[in-house]
Amino acid sequence: MKYLFYPLLFVATLACGQSLDIEKTYDVSKEAMKGFIHMVNTDLEKRQIDVVYRVRAKKNQSKFITYSFDMDFNFLNQSEEIVDMEKELPTKYRPKKYRGEDYSIEGLAVEPNMMGTLVLKRKVTNFNWSWFRGGYTVTTNVAEKLKAKTDDNKKLFYHDHFEDNTTGTAMVLAGEKGSAKNGPFNHMMNFHFLKYDVNLTTLADVTLNFETPQSVVATYGYPNTEDDPKSDMIVIFAPTKVKNYVGPKIWNKSQTEYTYVRVSYEGKLLDKISFTSPNSIWRVDDFVLRADGAVYFYGPSNDEQDEYFISRLESHAEKKKWPRFQLAKIDKGRVEFVTTTSMDDFEAKLKPQPNGKKGDSYNGRRVEFNETVISPNGDFILAGQNYGMMRNGKGQVTGRAYEDLLMFHFDSKGNLVSQYTVNKKFRGTSADNQFFEFSPDGKTLFWTYFDVVDTKAVRELSLMVEKPLGVPKLATINLTTGSFDKYTEYGNGENYVHYGGITNYFKYKDANKVAYFGENKKGSSLWFARINIDK
């Protein structure tokens, strides 16, 4: 589930231009270079930015070196402090999510057995703070299987679940297992949203019944980070048909009758909405929750109305090429729209890049969407990156290789207005960061992306880190005409935005400005650049 927020320190009202307002560097000590940037703090009252390095001192001790700057990035002062890491970390060195270096929570592990039956086990989740990532590394040790408390719990078919590692509870989507009496497809018609605690106490049981068998298209719980508490579960169902079945015809006559269901983590049914999908097989990739409660979901689809959705496994095949793309919005208990866009439409609405060249249009394959925003006038902006497979010298797949960027602009009714692409020369192992700002009238979009052009191996304490070298690039796009009006990159080929969990993008509250924070390639100097979007 995607949330509509950014890791920003300031909020701004934007106009329609861009120019470099300030660019400054500051050399750090050789001692600081041996450590890493622990955190960046901004004090709005003092109008001060503190860049804190963490360096190894004596055994079980760390030295914190703080460089302080004003809001125009002028150096103010430097301070140092040695901290005993076996004691509680001082508050000023704790990030917001920090709850200690290491801790554990007992909870539930959920999985199916070979027959699809729901299995619950006891687990211990270990949280280990990673200063490099700026978050917790989460590992899980699964212990013994828990026995069902009632016979009903022994007859459940597993569909999906999510576990709340902060409380040890879990929410499970299960179906009632079939029998000779109630038929072999009971688990696809009679569903339960179940919430359990670590003692296998049933905290909630929301039943959901269908007249015909259904397949689970997509299931999302949010937030989706492993160290945050969970909230609602959202599930999309579609009519299904079991291949080669010769029994009574019990299938839904309409293959496009989809159902949206939302259940709160407290166990309350919030929405059950049936709607018609333009096409019958829709691979829903992700959901977006807007601040006012509206929910968007999207993904590629087929171009037929008479094919049944069989399974998520079948629809998520990496090599599959889809002919259409669908977008839906649900708000206040009803469907606002469900739209479908053909690959021909994407091709026709592809806009030239600032250099006048057109990139490759979206063709229904291999895109990771990683940023979504809503404009002031309700337009929907969806951005992502094409990817292929990264292989080693033996030809074995080692992960994804991220390539060209693309962005879709849909209007407030879900209709495609324009498509944009940006060609990249370097194939990265992780997706580029992307950020968006709008003019107050929603007609101008400021699109920042951190173009990873290379990597550099660096040592941070005992870790060897492959440091991405990201060049901040900013485009101004006229959403009315669809043109790239301007395109600028920053850093002069010497400085790069900071990587990892440290904030590297700032947006000001009292001026129409954004700023980038980073270092030079060696890590010997800090770098700040502020851009005035008014000019």
Question: What is 191-245 written as a DSSP string?
Answer: EEEEEE-TT--EEEEEEEE-SS-EEEEEEEESS-STTS----EEEEEEE---TT-
Q: Are 65 and 29 in contact (CB under 8 A)?
A: yes
Q: Can you give the pLDDT at residue 148?
A: 65
Q: Any idea where the domains of the chain sit in the sequence?
A: 98-227+231-264
Instruction: Spell out the alpha helix ranges (H) of 250-391.
Output: 312-315, 343-348
How many C-beta atoms lie closer than 10 Å to residue 318's C-beta? 10
Those residues whose C-beta lies under 8 Å from the C-beta of residue 230, and which sit 6 or more positions away, are 162, 163, 164, 166, 171, 221, 222, 223, 265
Find the angle CA(62)-CA(66)-CA(70) to the nearest 5 degrees: 165
Instruction: Spell out the alpha helix ranges (H) of 412-461.
Output: none
Q: Are 354 and 323 in contact (CB under 8 A)?
A: no
Structure tokens at 28: 């750090």
Q: What amino acid occupies position 240?
A: T
Burial 133-162 (b: 16+ CB within 10 A, else e): ebbbeeeeeeeeebebeeeebebbbbbbbb
User: CA nearest 496: which of 474, 530, 528, 458?
Assistant: 528
Residue that is written with structure tokens 């060249």 in the block? 357
Q: Can you give the pLDDT at residue 193?
A: 95
10-residue mean pLDDT profile of the chain (535 residues): values are: 34 53 95 89 86 87 94 95 86 80 85 87 84 75 76 81 85 85 84 92 93 95 63 94 84 96 93 97 91 91 95 76 95 96 96 86 88 91 90 83 93 96 85 87 89 80 76 91 84 88 77 88 93 76
Q: Which SS3 state, helix, strand or coil, does residue 331 take?
A: strand
User: CA nearest 385: which of 356, 414, 362?
Assistant: 362
Calpha distance 301→280 (Å, rounded):
8
